[in-house]
């Protein structure tokens, strides 16, 4: 199985994109319909995703996850600091 989008060529089918993302074709169609994953429609039920767009989509998702992790860590740190300050005050 190929896991590199660029090795498959410039355009990917929905099934190829789904395989690379390890999701169903329904998930890929939903991403296309929402506008999250750019694609071109060639016929009624025939879509193609440019491999560079899929790679960019993956990069954005990694960035979003990293930002969420940093935010969660900051929130946890605030709670810990708040609890420590409260404990010191004897509350």
CATH number at residue 78: 1.10.1660
In a domain, 56, yes or no: yes
Q: Are 20 and 1 in contact (CB under 8 A)?
A: no
In a domain, 3, yes or no: no
Segment 14-54, tens digit of pLDDT:
999 999 999 999 999 999 999 999 999 999 999 999 999 99
In a domain, 77, yes or no: yes
The strand ranges marked E within the chain are 11-13, 40-43, 46-50
Segment 69-82, tens digit of pLDDT:
888 777 666 666 66
In a domain, 29, yes or no: yes
Q: What region, left, alpha or beta, does residue 90 occupy, with left being phi > 0 and alpha being psi -120 to 50 degrees?
A: left
In a domain, 81, yes or no: yes
Domain count, the chain: 1
Q: What is the pLDDT of residue 54?
A: 98
Model confidence pTM above 0.85: no
In a domain, 4, yes or no: no
In a domain, 1, yes or no: no
Question: Could you list the residue range(s) of the whole structural domain that residue 51 is in?
Answer: 9-89
Nearest to 26 by CA among 13, 11, 36, 15: 15
């Amino acid at each position: 199985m190929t896991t590199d989008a660029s090795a498959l060529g410039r355009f990917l089918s929905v099934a190829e994109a789904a395989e690379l993302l390890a999701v169903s074709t329904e998930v890929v169609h939903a991403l296309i319909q929402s506008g999250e994953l750019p694609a071109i429609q060639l016929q009624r039920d025939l879509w193609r995703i440019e491999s560079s767009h899929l790679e960019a989509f993956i990069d954005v998702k990694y960035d979003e996850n990293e930002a969420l992790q940093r935010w969660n860590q900051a929130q946890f740190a605030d709670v810990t600091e708040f609890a420590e300050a409260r404990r010191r005050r004897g509350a």
